[in-house]
Amino acid sequence: MRKTIIAGNWKMYKTIGEAIEIANGLKREFFQLDTQVIEVVLCPAFTALSEVSEVLVGSEISLGAQDVYWQEEGAFTGEVSCKMLKDAGCSYVIIGHSERRQYFGETNDSVNKKIKTALSQGLTPILCIGETLAQRESGNTFSVLEDHLSHGLAGFSAEDAERIVIAYEPVWAIGTGKTATPAQAQEAHAYIRGFLAKLYSEESAQRMRIQYGGSVKPDNTSDLMKQPDIDGALVGGASLSVESFAAIVKKALEVKK
Ligand code: PGA
């Protein structure tokens, strides 16, 4: 059985003090998390990683970052390495988020390099893929997914790939309040799993986890999580309050346990 994974992507929100407060609230909510069934990951901004990591000591919640650079170290002003993320307490890192692709020049090639370094350093990458509205409307959803997967995962063995979490995030559903319907999401997830089976094997594809992201809220979580190929969620806006993020985790747990 694939373990469900719910990750909160806090984006460019929360000062250190605010981040500590929300992490403390979630730690109290999940002091007894059924970790056989579900994993919970918080992805604050770089500035809050260390402090949130300290708060999470003794809890079942993991820490992740929102991006990383692929070089080990060097004169790369403004960048952060895998070693630095691990030092700050991270075990996960989001790679290739559509906002990075859209605003910061992230490409399949940089995504591929970042994943490679993350894997070699023992961080679990969360690889984000997904189509824009124009791509969906012109009938190109599946070819975009294939492009993101085949280039993002180029050169990895099945063993490597199984350590990667895929996040299907239709760009038109991110931060817009427009969620993909459970059927639309399931269709894309099944396609992704089928494509992973072609790249690797049916067994590997069955072991790989595919999260859905894009306007996940407490009231749409259950229907999304009931879909057979949806193994969790990458949550933006609704991860910014203890109440809504805790509600999402609880709904996912109810469906998946
Ligand atoms: P959203 O963001 O839940 O606010 O739509 C999701 C994401 O960007 O990961």
Give the long-range contacts of residues 195-200, CB within 8 A, separation 24 or more: 195/145, 195/146, 195/149, 195/150, 196/149, 196/161, 196/166, 199/149, 199/150, 199/153, 199/161, 200/158, 200/161, 200/162
Measuring from atom 7 of ligand 1, which residue has the nearest CA?
A: 236
Q: What pLDDT sits at residue 108?
A: 98
From 169, 172, 239, give the residue whose CB has the most ligand 1 atoms within 8 Å, as the site to mutate.
169
**Which residue's CA is the nearest one to ligand 1's atom 6?**
236
Q: Tens of pLDDT along 159-193?
A: 999 999 999 999 999 988 888 899 999 999 999 99
Q: Give residue-wise pLDDT tens across range 62-102.
A: 999 999 999 999 999 999 999 999 999 999 999 999 999 99
Measured from CB, residues less than 6 Å from any atom of ligand 1 are 9, 169, 174-175, 213-216, 234-238
Taking the CA of residue 238 as reference, the ligand 1 atom at the shortest distance is: 3
> Domains in the chain, please, with CATH?
4-256 (3.20.20.70)
Q: pTM (2 decimals)?
A: 0.97
Q: What is the number of the ligand 1 atom nearest to the C-alpha of 99?
A: 8
73 labelled catalytic: no
Give yes or no: 169 in active site. Answer: yes
Question: What is the pairing mode between strands 124-129 and 92-95?
Answer: parallel
pLDDT digits (tens, 9 = 90+) for 97-107: 999 999 999 99
DSSP secondary structure of 12-27: T---HHHHHHHHHHHH
